[in-house]
Structure formats: C-alpha cells, structure tokens
C-alpha cells in the first residue's frame, strides 16, 4: 500500500490553506478538528488505501508537510550471483 505521512507540526492548517484537500483526486484529506501544537488544524486522512501516489498533495503543500511513498509494484528482481 502507498504510504502518506503528514507532518502535523509543519502544517498551517486547513482553514488557512487546505490545498491538499483541493488537489487530491481521491478525496483522502478531510477537515479535522484536532489542532497541532501551534494551534493550526491539519487535515485528517481517510481511505489511505485508495491513494494512487500521484503526489499532487506532496508537490502542492507549501509547507512540505506531506510525504508520499509509493509501494513497490513488483517484487525486487532475484539477485544473480557474479559467477552466474
Ligand atoms: S498522492 Fe495523490 S492520491 Fe495520494 S493522497 Fe496525495 S493527492 Fe491524494
Ligand atoms: S497543503 Fe500542507 S499546509 Fe496546507 S493544509 Fe494541507 S498539509 Fe497543511
């Protein structure tokens, strides 16, 4: 599964920003009510398994508060020894 990491303390809050909510084609970011230490309210995440790892959110977040990691689509190739 693709992984979304939200750096809550870096977020300026969905009320003042909310770009991630706007740009995600899967509506994975939602309004939340839990503030960070600075008093801003970062988005919640729902249905993370539907994330396509398009990285719209990661590229668009002005505070670099989102990191998206794409799950490997294929298992790693078998290692072939140097001597064949
Ligand atoms: S990577 Fe794409 S699908 Fe996944 S949460 Fe970000 S914008 Fe949504
Ligand atoms: S785009 Fe970034 S700063 Fe803006 S609400 Fe989303 S996570 Fe927070």
Distance from residue 59's CA to the centre of ligand 1 (Å): 10
Q: What are the pLDDT digits (tens) for 15-38?
A: 999 999 999 999 999 999 999 999
Q: What are the pLDDT digits (tens) for 40-82?
A: 999 999 999 999 999 999 999 999 999 999 998 766 666 666 6
What is the dotted CATH code of the domain comprising 3-69? 3.30.70.20
Ligand 1 atom with the smallest distance to the CA of 23 is 7
Radius of gyration for the chain, computed over Cα atoms and rounded to the nearest angstrom? 17
Q: Could you give the CA distance from residue 55 to residue 61 in angstroms, rounded to a whole number?
A: 10
Nearest residue by C-alpha to atom 3 in ligand 2: 11
Q: Could you give the CA distance from residue 67 to residue 19 in angstroms, rounded to a whole number?
A: 15
Q: pTM for this one? A: 0.86
Distances from the Cα of 16 to the Cα of 21, 23, 24, 29, angstroms = 12, 15, 17, 15
**4 touches ligand 2 (CB under 6 Å):** no
**69 touches ligand 2 (CB under 6 Å):** no
């Amino acid at each position: 599964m693709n992984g979304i990491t939200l750096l809550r303390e870096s977020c300026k809050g969905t009320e003042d920003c909310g770009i991630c909510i706007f740009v995600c084609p899967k509506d994975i970011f939602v309004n939340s009510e839990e503030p960070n230490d600075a008093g801003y309210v970062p988005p919640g995440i729902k249905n993370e398994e539907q994330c396509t790892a398009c990285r719209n959110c990661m590229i668009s977040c002005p505070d670099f508060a989102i990191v998206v990691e794409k799950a490997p689509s294929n298992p790693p190739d078998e290692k072939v020894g140097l001597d064949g």
